[in-house]
Structure 1
Amino acid sequence: MLVKAKHQEAFDYFATQEYDKPKAIFKEILKTNPKDYLSVQNIGIIDLVQRNYEEAIKSLTVVIKVNLFTDGKSEYSRGYCYEQLGELEKAKKDYRKSQAKNSSQEMSLPVSKYE
């Protein structure tokens, strides 16, 4: 199965809130292509949704370091994880990075979240 088709299968499961299934698919993709950073990001988002904030931060940090995505989603998501863990200064830093990339998610945040 092509990677694109596997991604679509995972997204379909994600849409039905069956998070363990897409996570397994993304991990399977990473076995053959460890540089599929979209899969890494999506594992981080799934961990965020499942409130596994520390694990989400690990995945999202990998994605942020390679700096392939310009939408600010990874920075916003990692900031949210930090906020949930009470690490507000780290959260603000990530929210500011997300804002600088004009993240649509970040734009809905009150100014107090990142200043």
Structure 2
Amino acid sequence: MHYKRVSEYQLTDSVEGKTVLTKYFLVKSQVKVFNGSEDIEVPSYGIEISEEIFLNEMLIRKLVDRVMHVSPYMEKVEELLRYFKDMSVSPLHLCDIIDDNYYKYVDDYDEYIKICKIAI
């Protein structure tokens, strides 16, 4: 699966003498969506969260999780990404929180395809 990082936010925190660097990435890829007669490739935005834990400037643990296909609308996913950063969401909790918010995004791909049909 090919994707690229489109934007990034960072948080640095100190917990029990350890430095925790958390990075929040907006990632872009492509997904095929069936429009009733054929598969159409549309842009797809997702979220990647990376957490690195350092002790005395030495990396002791790294966690990464990503959810690739949240919505074809970059602005919606960017807003969700900023919310996750503000709430200090860790990679361990990304999938659980996305599952709780899934209903807000599930129809975006169908809506996007309808707009593409009108534009053609």
| TM-score bucket of the superposed structures, by smaller chain | under 0.3
Indicate the structure (1 or 2) with the bigger Cα radius of gyration. Answer: 2
More helix by share: 1
More strand by share: 2
TM-score, normalised to structure 1's length? 0.21
